[in-house]
Amino acid sequence: MRASLALKGEERKSLKFGGYMSGRISSDPLFVGLTRPTMIFGVSVQYALLNMMVSITIFIQKSSIYVVFIAALIHFIGYLLCFKEPRFMEIYANYASKCNQCSNKSYYGANSYNV
């Protein structure tokens, strides 16, 4: 006999509509994995490319192997940021494009533009 048939009334309804109602929001690990952006060593692809460009530029200028440690530090900072919010680079880029500040905001107290 199936387990759902052995249950009565309200318990059977709760099983039919996705399980017992515990009052908490739960997430399926498959859903989280499918909606998370592509990651490279724990950081998003955009952040990894930015880290690589900055590290290579510093390496070309300094010609020192210590740039690897700087890149690791930048990567660790990105890892911490991506752990909290995996799409923080996209959120920041959207914020920067939509909510840019004028250089004369401190004078007028608001954004003003020449027309």
pLDDT(22) > 90: no
The pTM of this model reads: 0.60
pLDDT tens digits for range 77-113: 999 998 888 888 888 888 888 777 777 777 877 777 6
Contacts of 71 (CB under 8 A, 6+ apart): 51, 52, 54, 55
pLDDT value at residue 98: 78
What are 9's two structure tokens?
Answer: 């009334």
Interatomic CA distance for residues 65 and 63, integer angstroms: 7
* pLDDT classification of 76: cutoffs 50, 70, 90: very high
Residue range 33-46, pLDDT digits in tens: 788 888 889 899 99
Domain range list for the chain: 39-89
